[in-house]
Structure 1
Amino acid sequence: MPSYVPRTHFLNAIDNKFTAFSLDVARYVEARTLLNVPEKQWKLFTVLVYTHIAAAVGLCVSGIICFCFGMVHSSLYNEVSCSNGVNFFIPFINVVSSFAGLVAIRALHLTWPAFVHVVTLLVAFPSLLIVATVTYIEADIWYKQASGTPEPVPAEVTYTNWAKIFADLDVLITFVVLLNIVIIGGEVMVYLKYWFLKMDRTPF
C-alpha cells in the first residue's frame, strides 16, 4: 500500500474543512442583525458611523495634501514628507470601513452588511495604529530639522521653514488618526455587546 495520501484526498480534506468553516460562519452571521441595538445606543451608533465617514475622508484627504506639499517643497531636505504612502494607502482601508458602516445602518435588518462592517473595522483599527505611530515619529524628525536652516539654500529661493509645516501636518494627521481610532473603538463596543454576544434569530 502507498505510504502517502493521494493529492486528491488531501485537497478534498481541505475543501471539506473549509466548507464546514464557511457554514459555521454563515450560521453565526445569519443569527445576528443590528436590530438588537436599543434605541438610545442606536442613535449613538448612527452618530459614530456618520462621524467615522467624515473623519475617514478627512484623514485620507489630509494624507494626500501632505504628500502633495512634500513633493513640491521638500527639495531643500534629504527626504520627502509623507512619501512612504502610509498616510493615504492605509487610510483608504478606513474609508472603505466607514462606508461599510453606512450600508450596515441602512440595512440593519440584514445580516451580512453588519458582518462586513465589523470585519473592516477590525482590519482598520490596527492599521491606523501603524499610521499614528509612523506620523508621530515623522513629526518628531521634521521638528528636529525645523530647528535649523538647510544648507545650502539657493539664492533665488525664498526660504520658508517647510520642515516646521511638515511637522505640523504630521501632528494634525496623527490627531485625526487617533480620532478615527476612538470612533472605531466605540463602534466595535456596540458590536461586541449587541451583535457578537447576542442572537436575535434562529440560524439555519
Structure 2
Amino acid sequence: MPSYVPRNHFLNAIDSKFTIFSLDVARYVEARTLLNVPERQWKLFTVLVYTHIAAAVGLCVSGIICFCFGMVHSSLYTEVSCSNGVNFFIPFINVVSSFAGLVAIRALHLTWPAFVHVVTLLVAFPSLLIVATVTYIEADIWYKQANGTPEPIPAEVTYTNWAKIFADLDVLIAFVVLLNIVIIGGEVMVYLKYWFLKMDRTSF
C-alpha cells in the first residue's frame, strides 16, 4: 500500500546507515591488534589483566558476603545491608570484563578479542563509579546508625553493633571498587596508546 512506502524508505535508510557503520567498525577493529604493545608495556598490561581478574572476583564475592550478612543480621535495623544489589549485580559486569582481558592477551594476534575487552572495560568503568558512590553513601548511613542502639532489642537477643560491621564492610567494598577502577584506567591507557591510535601494519 502507498501509505507504507515512506516507512519502508525510512527503515531502508536506517538499515543502510547501520550497515555502513558496521563495516566502518569492522575495518577499524581489524586494522588493530595487541601486537603493537612494546614488550615492557606488555608485561605491565599482562599484570594488570591478571590483577583485574583477582580484584573483580574479590569485589563480586565481597558484595555477596555483605548481602548474606545483611540478610541474617539486619533484623534490628530499618534496612538490610547491601540489599539493593549494586554490590554484586553491577560488579558481575566487571568480572566479565576481566575475563575478556584474559582472552585478549591469550589471543593477542587476533583483532576482535581486544575490541570486546576494551568495550567491556568502557562499560565497567562508569558502572563501578556508581558502585563506589552508592557504597560510600551506604557506609555513611551505617556509621550514623552505629552511634546509637536500635530499639527495642528483644531480651533473648545478644546485641552486636552490626551497623558498625556493615559500615566497615562497605568501606572495604569501596576500597576494592577503587582498586578495580585504577586497574581499568591502566588497561584503558594501554589501549589508548597502542590500540586506539595505532594501526597494526601486519594486518595489511
Q: Deviations over 1:110-164 (max 9, x none)?
A: 0000000000000000000000000000000000000011000000000000000
Whole-Å Cα distance in 2 between the matches of residues 162 and 141 of structure 1?
A: 13
Check whether the contact 1:66–1:166 (CA below 8 A) recurs between aligned residues. Answer: yes
Check whether the contact 1:64–1:87 (CA below 8 A) recurs between aligned residues. Answer: yes
SS at match of 1:158: coil
Q: Which deviates more from structure 2 when the two are superposed, residues 2-11 or residues 123-132?
A: 2-11
Q: Which deviates more from structure 2 when the two are superposed, residues 9-18 or residues 121-130?
A: 9-18
Check whether the contact 1:93–1:124 (CA below 8 A) recurs between aligned residues. Answer: yes
Q: Cα offset for 1:8?
A: 1.5
Q: Cα offset for 1:195?
A: 0.1
Check whether the contact 1:55–1:179 (CA below 8 A) recurs between aligned residues. Answer: yes
Q: Which deviates more from structure 2 when the two are superposed, residues 194-203 or residues 64-73?
A: 194-203
SS at match of 1:202: helix
Q: Cα offset for 1:95?
A: 0.1
SS at match of 2:87: coil
Q: Cα offset for 1:48?
A: 0.1
TM-score (norm 2): 0.97
Whole-Å Cα distance in 2 between the matches of residues 166 and 93 of structure 1?
A: 24
Q: Which deviates more from structure 2 when the two are superposed, residues 7-16 or residues 189-198?
A: 7-16
Check whether the contact 1:74–1:80 (CA below 8 A) recurs between aligned residues. Answer: yes
SS at match of 1:188: helix
Q: Cα offset for 1:2?
A: 7.4
Gaps of 5+ in 1: none
Whole-Å Cα distance in 1 between the matches of residues 10 and 68 of structure 2?
A: 52
Whole-Å Cα distance in 2 between the matches of residues 202 and 170 of structure 1?
A: 48
SS at match of 1:26: helix
Q: Cα offset for 1:9?
A: 1.4
CA gap of 1:105–1:11, structure 2 versus 1, over 3 A, is same
> Residue in 2 aligned with 1:77?
77
Q: Cα offset for 1:203?
A: 6.5
The count of residues paired between Structure 1 and Structure 2 equals: 204
Q: Deviations over 1:61-98 (max 9, x none)?
A: 00000000000000000000000000000000000000
Whole-Å Cα distance in 2 between the matches of residues 37 and 202 of structure 1?
A: 13
Check whether the contact 1:35–1:108 (CA below 8 A) recurs between aligned residues. Answer: yes
Q: Deviations over 1:152-182 (max 9, x none)?
A: 0000000000000000000000000000000
Check whether the contact 1:32–1:198 (CA below 8 A) recurs between aligned residues. Answer: yes
> Residue in 2 aligned with 1:112?
112
SS at match of 2:84: coil
Q: Cα offset for 1:6?
A: 2.1
Q: Cα offset for 1:7?
A: 1.6
Q: Cα offset for 1:201?
A: 3.2
Check whether the contact 1:27–1:203 (CA below 8 A) recurs between aligned residues. Answer: no
Q: Which deviates more from structure 2 when the two are superposed, residues 50-59 or residues 6-15?
A: 6-15
Aligned identity (percent) is 96
Check whether the contact 1:28–1:203 (CA below 8 A) recurs between aligned residues. Answer: no
SS at match of 2:145: helix
TM-score (norm 1): 0.97
Whole-Å Cα distance in 2 between the matches of residues 134 and 106 of structure 1?
A: 35
Check whether the contact 1:33–1:108 (CA below 8 A) recurs between aligned residues. Answer: yes
SS at match of 1:87: coil
Q: Within 5 A, what are the aligned runs for 1:18-37?
A: 18-37=18-37
Q: Cα offset for 1:10?
A: 1.2
> Residue in 1 aligned with 2:40?
40
Whole-Å Cα distance in 2 between the matches of residues 83 and 102 of structure 1?
A: 31
Check whether the contact 1:31–1:200 (CA below 8 A) recurs between aligned residues. Answer: yes
Q: Cα offset for 1:52?
A: 0.1
